[in-house]
Amino acid sequence: MNKKIVLRDDEMPRQWYNIAPDIPNGLKPPLDPETNEPMGPEKLSAVFPMGLLEQEMSGERFIDIPEEVQEIYKIWRPSPLVRATNLEKALGTKAKIFFKNEGVSPVGSHKPNSAVPQAYYNMKEGVKRLSTETGAGQWGSALAFATSKFGIECKVYMVRVSFDQKPYRKSMMQMYGASIVASPSKETNIGRKILAEHPDTPGSLGIAISEALEDAATRDDTKYALGSVLNHVCMHQSIIGLEAKKQMEIAAEYPDVIIGCCGGGSNFAGIAAAFVPDYLEGKKIRFVGVEPASCPSLTMGKLAYDFGDVAQMTPLLYMYTLGHDFIPPGIHAGGLRYHGMSPMLSALVRENIVHPMKVHQLECFEAGALFARTEGIIPAPETCHAIRAAITEATRDLNDPKTILFNFSGHGLIDMASYDKFYAGELHDYDYPEEDIAKSIANLPKV
Ligand SMILES: Cc1ncc(COP(=O)(O)O)c(C=O)c1O
């Protein structure tokens, strides 16, 4: 048995898979908040290039990956599929646990799979500067890396709590040539307004998105890039599952269970999408989307139209949401602190194809530590959520061992301050109170 399955460069998929046309009962379109009518590409073209808007609305199942993007992907792709034999042994399970290691990318996560094509399509349309938000710093680093490849300037609004927790993410973005500011910042109207009302706010992805959007909307030379949630981002990530499917075939295995952590939904959609057509044809697969108990959009949110940001600047998206003014506690998985979930993943949950699971911070760090001691790789706090669920699934019924595939969305080498706090006993579990969720859900836009 091979410990890891590695594809050659020329075996890398040349097309992304767009799951949109295969979702039973379809996706609901984004709405213009002023009219409640479906929003066409013309209005969105102020902040996104047409190349990406076409993908966002596309009904094509397969879309070619441009050669230039493939060449950059080859720096780290195809990524390895690894059998977690040492973890299996430590758990005393006969379950087979495979993980797709997206931590091998230059910045350490799956995020460049979308950052590179986003920078590419902007470059093709002459865009000189991109603004974006980042939670844990993984997306900001990915876009900083990608823009450096295409000679585009990059401005990153980094959620305050992560800005303070992860100084080396800042250094990385700087090294790739980006400029970074803690969000909320004094550089935008929305940032100044929030700081005046809540000077000590930890920030949130919803706030940082508003700032980055305001930046792009108020400058002619700038467009905006989003690291998750949108259809085109999920589609770019489909390369993860397309590769994993080939690799599982080489291993002569097929997953009974597929697991990913869920922040905005992109890495989960990435590992899962390629397997959904088999599921729809009758194959038995259990898809598990894992989220933090402190930011439980899939398990405790409402499926409704909502804004993607705090300042209500985005179109209305039909998704599981905790309400756009929900500010989650400053947990250490910054990339999972988002009030909504991608419309694609939301639709898969609505159709009962994906089963959401919520887990607590401490059990995730424990799972991450066990993984590091067995498989050797230190996972990002976000990724620890997927590992926690993989352990649960692998030990659920020892008499019925399953084949499990989870997405190892990123390494945690720049998250060591969070592990230090974990070992110092300074981290706590937090269930977001139902009353508070009800309060922000009461502020959902009326559609
Ligand atoms: C390592 C890692 N995993 C997962 C996520 C969650 O994002 P998504 O749900 O879009 O994959 C992030 C987001 O920052 C991340 O950095």
Domains of the chain (ranges plus CATH)? Answer: 66-108+237-441 (3.40.50.1100)
> Which residue, judged by its Cα, is nearest atom 15 of ligand 1?
335
Q: What is the pLDDT of residue 337?
A: 87
| DSSP reduced 3-state for 235 | helix
Burial class (CB in 10 A: 0-12, 13-18, 19+), 122: buried
CA atoms of 386 and 408, how far apart (whole Å): 7
Residue-by-residue pLDDT tens, the chain, 447 positions: 899 999 999 999 999 999 999 999 999 999 999 999 999 898 899 999 999 999 999 999 999 999 999 999 999 999 999 999 999 999 999 999 999 999 999 999 999 999 999 999 999 999 999 999 998 899 999 999 999 999 999 999 999 988 998 899 999 999 999 999 999 999 999 999 999 999 999 998 999 999 999 999 999 999 999 999 999 999 999 999 999 999 999 999 999 999 999 999 999 999 999 999 999 999 999 999 999 999 999 999 999 999 999 889 999 999 999 999 888 776 778 789 899 999 999 999 999 999 999 999 999 999 999 999 999 999 999 999 999 999 999 999 999 999 999 999 999 999 999 999 999 999 999 888 889 899 999 999 999
Joined together, the tokens standing for residue 347 give 């639709």
CA of residue 383 to ligand 1 center, whole Å: 8
Q: Which 8-state DSSP code applies to residue 334?
A: G
> Which residue, judged by its Cα, is nearest atom 12 of ligand 1?
335
> Which residue, judged by its Cα, is nearest atom 13 of ligand 1?
335
> Which residue, judged by its Cα, is nearest atom 4 of ligand 1?
382
Q: What is the pLDDT of residue 226?
A: 96
CA atoms of 138 and 236, how far apart (whole Å): 16
CA atoms of 246 and 306, how far apart (whole Å): 37
Q: What is the pLDDT of residue 185?
A: 98
Considering only CA atoms, give the Rg of the chain: 20
Question: Which residue shows structure tokens 């399970």?
Answer: 93
CA of residue 34 to ligand 1 center, whole Å: 31
Q: What is the pLDDT of residue 140?
A: 98
Ligand 1 atom closest to Cα of residue 411: 1
Orientation of helix 205-217 relative to helix 189-197, angle to 10°: 150
CA of residue 268 to ligand 1 center, whole Å: 9
Taken as a whole, the chain contains a residue count of 447
CA atoms of 237 and 242, how far apart (whole Å): 9
Ligand 1 atom closest to Cα of residue 237: 11
Model pTM score: 0.97
CA distance between the termini of the chain: 55
Tell me which residue of 213, 234, 417, 393 sits closest to 334, measured CA to CA: 417
288, containing H or E segment: strand 286-292
With vertex at residue 379, the alpha carbon angle to CA 377 and CA 382, rounded to the nearest 5 degrees, is 165
Residue type, 135: G
> Which residue, judged by its Cα, is nearest atom 14 of ligand 1?
335
Tell me which residue of 230, 311, 234 sits closest to 30, measured CA to CA: 230
| DSSP reduced 3-state for 9 | helix
Pocket of ligand 1 (CB under 6 A): 109, 135-136, 138-139, 228, 261-268, 335-336, 380, 382-383, 409-410
Tell me which residue of 427, 444, 384, 352 sits closest to 165, measured CA to CA: 427
Q: What is the pLDDT of residue 56?
A: 97
Q: What is the pLDDT of residue 335?
A: 84
> Which residue, judged by its Cα, is nearest atom 16 of ligand 1?
138
Ligand 1 atom closest to Cα of residue 138: 16
